[in-house]
Amino acid sequence: MSKKKVNLRDIDTKEHSGEHSHDDGHNHGDAAAVSNFRTYLPAILSFVMLMAGIAVDYFEVFPFFKGWIRILWYTVTYIPVGFPVIKEGWNSIKNGDFFTEFLLMSIATLGAFAIGQYPEGVAVMLFYAVGELFQNAAVNHAKSNIKALLDIRPNEALAYRNDDYISVHPESVEIGEKIQVRVGEKVPLDGMLLSEKASFNTAALTGESKPDTIAKGDKVFAGSINLDGVIEIETTKAFKDSSIARILDMVQNATTRKSKTELFIRKFARIYTPIVVFLAIGLTFLPYFFVDDYVFRNWLYRALIFLVISCPCALVISIPLGYFGGLGAASRNGILFKGASFLDAMTKVNTVVMDKTGTVTKGVFKIKEIVSTSAITETEFMQYLMAMEEQSTHPIAKAILEYKTDAHNLVASKVSEVAGKGLKGTVGGKTVFVGNKALMTSNSIEVPFATDSIVESIVMVAINNQYAGYVTIADELKEDAHQAIRQIREAGISKIIMLSGDKDSITQQIAKELKIDWAKGGLLPEDKLNEVEELKKQPDTKVAFIGDGINDAPVLASSDVGIAMGGLGSDVAIETADVIIQTDQPSKIARAIAIGRSTRKIVWQNIGLAFGVKIVVLILGAGGMATMWEAVFADVGVALLAILNAVRLQKMKW
R_g of the chain computed on alpha carbons: 34
Quick check: 224 and 202 in contact, CB under 8 A?
yes
Active site residue 355: yes
What is the H or E stretch that residue 2 is in?
none
Which DSSP letter does residue 478 get?
P
Quick check: 236 and 175 in contact, CB under 8 A?
yes
Quick check: 497 and 519 in contact, CB under 8 A?
yes
Judged by phi (left if over 0) then psi (alpha if -120 to 50, else beta), residue 420 lies in: left
| Angle subtended by helix axes 101-114 and 67-94, to nearest 10 | 160
Residue 84 burial (C-beta neighbours within 10 Å; 0-12, 13-18, 19+): middle
Residue 60 burial (C-beta neighbours within 10 Å; 0-12, 13-18, 19+): exposed
- Give the whole-angstrom CA distance, residue 590 versus residue 484: 7
- Which position among 190, 212, 344, 355 bears the catalytic label? 355
- Give the whole-angstrom CA distance, residue 251 versus residue 159: 28
At 12, which amino acid appears? D
φ and ψ at 469, to 5 degrees? 140, -165
Handedness of CA 401, 403, 404, 407 (dihedral sign): negative
What is the H or E stretch that residue 379 is in?
helix 378-389
Judged by phi (left if over 0) then psi (alpha if -120 to 50, else beta), residue 292 lies in: alpha
Sheet holding 543-547, edge to edge: 335-337, 579-581, 561-565, 543-547, 351-354, 495-499, 518-520
Q: Give 352's strand partners.
A: 496, 544
Q: Where are the beta strands (DSSP E) in 456-503?
A: 457-463, 466-477, 495-499
- Give the whole-angstrom CA distance, residue 622 versus residue 631: 11
Per-residue burial over 115-129, b if 16 or more Cβ lie within 10 Å, else e, is eebbbbbbbbbbbbb
CA distances from 623 to 126, 274, 567 (A): 26, 21, 60
At 633, which amino acid appears? F
Q: Kindly list the catalytic residues.
A: 355
